[in-house]
Amino acid sequence: MRRRSLLTRSASPDTAVPRRGIPRGAVPLGLAALLALPLTVLPGTSADAADSLVSAGKPATSSSVEGSGFGPALAVDGSTTTRWASLEGVDPQWIRIDLGAHHTLSRVKLDWEAAYAKTYRIQTSADGSTWTDVYTTTTGDGAVDDLAVSGSGRYVRMYGTGRGTPYGYSLWEFQVYGAPTGGGGGTGPAVPFGSHLKPYAAGMLKPSGTQAALDQKVVDYYNRWKSAFVRQNCGNGWYQVISPDADHPYVAEAQGYGMVVTATMAGADPDAKKIFDGLVKWKLDHPSSVNPDLLAAEQDVNCRSVNGGDGATDGDMDVAYGLLLADKQWGSGGTYDYKALALKHIAAIKKDELNPTTKLLKLGDWSSSGDQYYYISRTSDWMVDHFRAFRAASGDTTWDAVRTAHQTQIANLQSGYAPGTGLLPDFVVDTATSPRPAPNQVLEDPNDGQYWWNACRTPWRIADDAVTSGDAKSLAAARKLNTWIKGKTGGDPNKIGIGYKLNGTQISAGSEAAFFAPFAVAAMTDSGSQAWLDALWNKMLATPVDTSSYFSASIQLQVMITVSGNHWVP
Q: How many CB atoms lie within 10 A of CB 13?
A: 11
Q: SS3 for 217?
A: helix
Distance from C-alpha of 316 to C-alpha of 295, rounded to nearest angstrom: 6
Give the CA dihedral 58, 64, 69, 74, nearest 10 degrees: -20
Task: Check if the beta carbon of residue 135 is closer than 8 Å to that of residue 104.
Answer: no
Task: Check if the beta carbon of residue 196 is closer than 8 Å to that of residue 565.
Answer: yes
Task: Check if the beta carbon of residue 225 is closer than 8 Å to that of residue 262.
Answer: no
Contacts of 202 by beta carbon, 8 Å cutoff, 6+ apart: 470
Distance from C-alpha of 162 to C-alpha of 136, rounded to nearest angstrom: 12
Q: What angle do helix axes 272-285 and 338-352 make, rounded to 10 degrees?
A: 40
Distance from C-alpha of 480 to C-alpha of 487, rounded to nearest angstrom: 11
Report which secondary-structure segment, H or E, holds 196. Answer: none
Q: How many CB atoms lie within 10 A of CB 391?
A: 18
3-class DSSP string for 391-429: HHHHCCCHHHHHHHHHHHHHHHHHHHHCCCCCCCCCEEE
Distance from C-alpha of 96 to C-alpha of 159, rounded to nearest angstrom: 8
Residues that are catalytic: 253, 314
Q: SS3 for 118?
A: strand
Report which of 27, 92, 105, 32 is spatially closest to residue 62, judged by C-alpha positions.
92
DSSP string, 326-345: HHHHH-SSSSS-HHHHHHHH
